[in-house]
Structure 1
Amino acid sequence: MITYPFLEKGAAIGVTAPSSGVEAELHELIKQSCERMKLKGFQIICGETVWTQDKAKSAPAKQRAKEFNQMMANEDIGLIFPPWGGELLIEILEEIDFGSLQNKWVLGYSDTSVLLLAITLKTGMATAHGTNLIDLRGEYTDETTAMWEKILSTSACESILQHSSSKYQKKWQHDKPSPYVFHLTEPTIWKSVPNKELELKGRLLGGCIDVIRHLIGTPFGDVQSFRQKHIKDDPILWYFENCELTTTDLRRSLVQMKLAGWFENCAGILFGRSAANRPVENYTIEDVYHDFFEELNIPVIYDIDCGHVPPQMTFINGSYAEVTVADGKGSVCQYFI
């Protein structure tokens, strides 16, 4: 069984930085995001780690973990929402009190996905892969990104549907602030291998492949135990987004996952758009997807709304999903069962 948190109206949001904090010159951005949440009726509880950043992390591992554990134990907090990702979240996993985690949402992506996946695999509690808090500072939020709130307020045994975006952001333009934060200019086109209309069904698991791959072989990446305890015979529907890996590094990571048994009883793989899919010699990202399909006969849907090329959908680790793609458009229906 999967346990699903529920975000109450007017709940308190705990803002902590389990990976990177916010440098002093960017404090105003996170303050803007917190104000936006207050306008939505949420209360905000900011931890000390949010405001510091040194040596590629907000604070030493024990301090980051302590603040996270305290917020998870605080019954007044209904959502843990880091400002953004970072680089070294994996350092805190040994200090997380997984056995005492209360049923509440943790939302984010990038390096935060290490914590999200570890929580779901260790406990069977659903976690939310979606927007970062700092990206909600704008006066407006696009329809795809804005779904995070409705999804986290979906009750157990209910379902919720998301559709692919109409346009995505090709590159970040921090020198040109927008009321929407993102500059959505390019038409979104979902693609697939094989190249045909597809419908995939399974339990969603995933995150930023750059970092969640390091959970393989650790107590925090035990997919087999998760299957046995929480989803039984349901297939897994993996979703990945690539932040910085070349095509060959991505290929190595997928092979390692295969060898570790992560793709046993796998219904398919979803890949987010990425600016990092650089070919090595003439080995392209399309080659990676085709090689994977030919070896394992597992379909691939790619260039979906997930990851560092916004906007992105909100994927719930542990939920049962039906994902369709046809004529360049996609939909994701998640069932909280």
Structure 2
Amino acid sequence: MIKPYQLPPLLKPGDLVMAIAPSGSLKTTDALEKGIAIWQERGYRVELGKNYQSCYGYLAGRDRNRREDMTTAWQNPECKAIIAIRGGYGGARLLEDWSWSTNKRKWIIGFSDITSLLWSLATVNISSLHAPVLTTLASEPPWAIDRMFDYLETGKIKPLQGKPGKGGETTGILLPANLTVGIHLLNTPLQPSFKGAIIALEDVTEYPYRIDRMLTQWRMMGVFKEIKGIALGRFSRCEPYPGTKSWTIAEVLRDRLEDLNIPLVYDLPFGHDGVNAALPVGQVVTLNGNTGILSWE
């Protein structure tokens, strides 16, 4: 029997959620305010980390300040969820010599660079949510926003429809990730176990040959020998460099993944630059390569 990760307590209106910037610095306040408004309209109290407006190079402040905000949110007994304000880069820098207090379980919500936090939490068998960051939430269609809150409040979530890739059906633990971020976590203390996992991957602004290079490294490290299936989201702005001879991103994904002989689904609605449907980290899912459906137990 496959055992899911521990689920944090479900949310309810009136709960306190804290918004922090563990990675890149805030670009504009407009998208942030719209994201906060959505949470508030649902009845939640939203508190911003004290360093959320900081900027240190491409980071949202020095490591110690960003880590301080994360520590404060994680240790606050009133706080029931931690929402990343945006992605960018820098989350993994906070996790050197970091340990989670496992007597506490609360939601961490985000995607892209926030993969580092989601995977780190997965190493101690605590579930989280791969979902829009606060500054992208308002750009989501209503059904995706409702779907995210339904899951956070009820623990139930509807299936997602993609395109069939490789035949077969399999069940395993879902581990979503940004491909580029994930590859830099392999064989580090932040990498969760892949044994019996179904990996969900997306990426943005990477040339096809770079995606090829990353998937080839995953292959050479033997990662795909451990996992049971691959669920692919959107690989946006991953067109070839203009004027060069190249495979398309779709051709690279087929070439590097279809010979693995495990269930494979394309074009699920998650990732950058479009619908980013929530994906529970560490929960049991079924992936059907014949129908293109990703469903939850």
- What is the letter of the counterpart of residue 3 of structure 1? Q
Q: Deviations over 1:97-126 (max 9, x none)?
A: 324562111011111112111211x21101
Per the alignment, residue 252 of structure 2 pairs with 288
**Which residue matches 1:77?**
79
Distance 1:42 1:14 in 2: 10
Identify the range of structure 1 (35-44 vs 259-268) with the bigger mean alpha-carbon deviation.
Answer: 259-268
Count of residues in correspondence between the two structures: 290
TM-score by length of 2: 0.88
The Cα of 1:296 is off from its aligned counterpart by 2.0
Q: How much does 1:127 deviate? A: 1.2
- Distance between the aligned counterparts of 2:113 and 2:103, measured in 1? 20
Counterpart in the other structure of 1:239: 200
Instruction: After superposition, give the CA deviation of every residue in 1:24-74 in whole Å (9 maximum; x if it has no partner).
Output: xx2243123223312211011111222223311111112111210121111
Q: Distance in 1 between matches of 2:259 and 2:37?
A: 49
CA-to-aligned-CA distance 1:162-213 (integer Å, 9 cap, x gap): 344xxxxxxxxxxxxxxxxxxxxxxxxx32333x6x5442211121111121
Q: Which residue of 2 aligns with 1:232?
A: none
Structure 1: how far apart are the matches of 2:294 and 2:9?
A: 20
Superimposed CA distance per residue, residues 204-257 of structure 1 (whole angstroms, 9 cap, x where no aligned partner): 112111112100121112536xx4xxxxxxx21101001122222112211222
The correspondence of residues 46-195 of structure 1 with structure 2, limited to 5 A, is: 46-100=48-102, 102-120=104-122, 122-137=123-138, 141-155=141-155, 159-164=156-161, 190-194=162-166
Task: Provide the secondary structure at the position in 1 that maps to 2:172.
Answer: strand
Contiguous gaps of at least 5 residues in structure 1: 165-189, 228-234
Judging changes above 3 Å, is the alpha-carbon distance between structure 1 residues 261 and 69 closer, same or farther for their aligned structure 2 residues?
A: farther
Other-structure match for 2:294: 332
Is the alpha carbon distance of 1:217 and 1:11 closer, same or farther for their aligned partners in structure 2, counting shifts above 3 Å?
same
Q: Which amino acid aligns with 2:249?
A: I
CA distance in 2, matches of 1:256, 1:201: 25
Q: Percent identity?
A: 22
Distance 2:81 2:187 in 1: 29
- Which deviates more from structure 2 when the two are superposed, residues 146-155 or residues 81-90? 146-155
Provide structure 2 residue ranges, at least 5 long, that are not aligned to the other structure.
none
Distance 1:286 1:134, change over 3 A: closer
Provide the secondary structure at the position in 2 that maps to 1:151.
helix
Partners of 1:323 and 1:294 in 2: CA distance: 15
Amino acid at match of 1:151: Y
Structure 2 residue aligned with 1:321: 285
Distance 1:262 1:69 in 2: 32
- Give me the whole-angstrom Cα distance separating, in 2, the residues matched to 1:284 and 1:31: 37
Q: Kindly tell me: are residues 222 and 44 of structure 1, through their superposed partners in 2, closer, same or farther at Cα, counting changes over 3 Å? A: closer
3-state SS in 2 of match to 1:134: coil
| Contact in 1 for aligned 2:129/2:280 (Cα 8 Å) | yes
For the pair 1:269 / 2:271, whether they are aligned, the reply is no
Query: For residues 135 and 276 of structure 1, do their structure 2 counterparts lie closer, same or farther at Cα, with a shift above 3 Å needed?
Result: closer
Q: What letter is aligned with 1:332?
A: L
Q: Which amino acid aligns with 2:18?
A: G
Alignment partner of 1:13 is 2:51 = no
Whether contact under 8 Å (1:162, 1:313) holds in the other structure is no
Code of the residue aligned with 2:209 in structure 1: it is T
Query: Structure 1's 42 and 54: CA in aligned 2 closer, same or farther, altered over 3 A?
Result: same
CA gap 1:98/1:275 in 2 versus in 1, 3 angstroms = same
What is the aligned counterpart of 2:7 among 4, 8, 17?
A: 4
Question: Which aligned runs of 4 or more in structure 1 are off by greater than 6 angstroms?
Answer: none
